[in-house]
Structures are given as structure tokens and as C-alpha cells.
Amino acid sequence: MSHSIAFVTKGGKSPFEKISKTFLEDPQLFFSKVLPGETIEKTFRKYNNFFGGQFFNTCFVLWAFLLQCLSDEKSRSCSTAVGRIVACCFSVGKPMPDTNTGNYCRARKRLSEKALHELVVLAAKDMPGFFP
């Protein structure tokens, strides 16, 4: 399967591995076990839902959206989501996006509802094994 240019990093690895690592491997969250990066990538690939963009591509937008959904009320704004993307870019020495939330909100709207639904179902099926 070929990757679009927006989703290939050096060495041919998916950016889902690198960008989502901080989120998916957080020891306080179960995502690394319930929804590993390869499962997320496979699901979005299944629905042909990779969209490009230097900042507001599927991987960045999904990462910011998941954090937005799981954050407390004060941290759920689109501004905070864009701020996280800006901070991520800054931390790795990459150019940073404009802090206007419009591009993020339009990109978030492009996330496949079917792919998101499938990920929720997969996570729900695997969750019982993580609790006594």
C-alpha cells in the first residue's frame, strides 16, 4: 500500500508512530494497549481517509481531536487543540501553523465518522480485559 507524501517520514515510517507516541503511550491512558498506532492507521486507511497538509493532516488532527475530547472543560477549545499542534511543531523544530482555528476545525470535520466509530467499537471490545 502506498502512503501519500503527507504521511511518509524518513525511513518510510508512518507519522502515526511518531506523532501519536506521546499520546498513545501515556502511562495514565490505555490507548497504547487498546488502540495502537497501527490499528488507528489501518482503520483510517480502510476508509481512505488520509488527507494531507503540513499541519492539519489526518494524524495531527486526530491526535488533537482525541486530546480535545478527553480533556477537561477548560482544555476542550479549538484554540487549545491548535495550540497543541503548534507546541508539537515547535518542540521538534518544525515551522508552526497559524493559530487561527478555522483550518483545524475544517480539517477536524474531514475525519471519517465511520473510521472514528470503528475505533470506538474496537476500543470498547478490548476494554473489559483491562479492568479486574
Among 22-36, 60-74, 88-102, 117-131, the range scoring the smallest mean pLDDT is 22-36
Per-residue pLDDT tens digits for 95-113: 989 999 999 999 999 999 9
* pLDDT at residue 22 tops 60: no
pLDDT computed for residue 32 by the predictor: 61
* Residue pointed to by grid coordinates 477537561: 72
pLDDT computed for residue 92 by the predictor: 81
Query: With bands split at pLDDT 50, 70 and 90, how would you rate the model's confidence at 29?
Result: low
Top-confidence residue, 11 or 77:
77
pLDDT computed for residue 81 by the predictor: 92
Q: Which of 46, 40, 77, 62 is nearest to 110 (CA)?
A: 62
116 vs 62: CA distance, rounded Å: 9
Q: Residues of the chain with pLDDT > 90: what percent? A: 30
* pLDDT at residue 34 tops 50: yes
85 vs 55: CA distance, rounded Å: 7
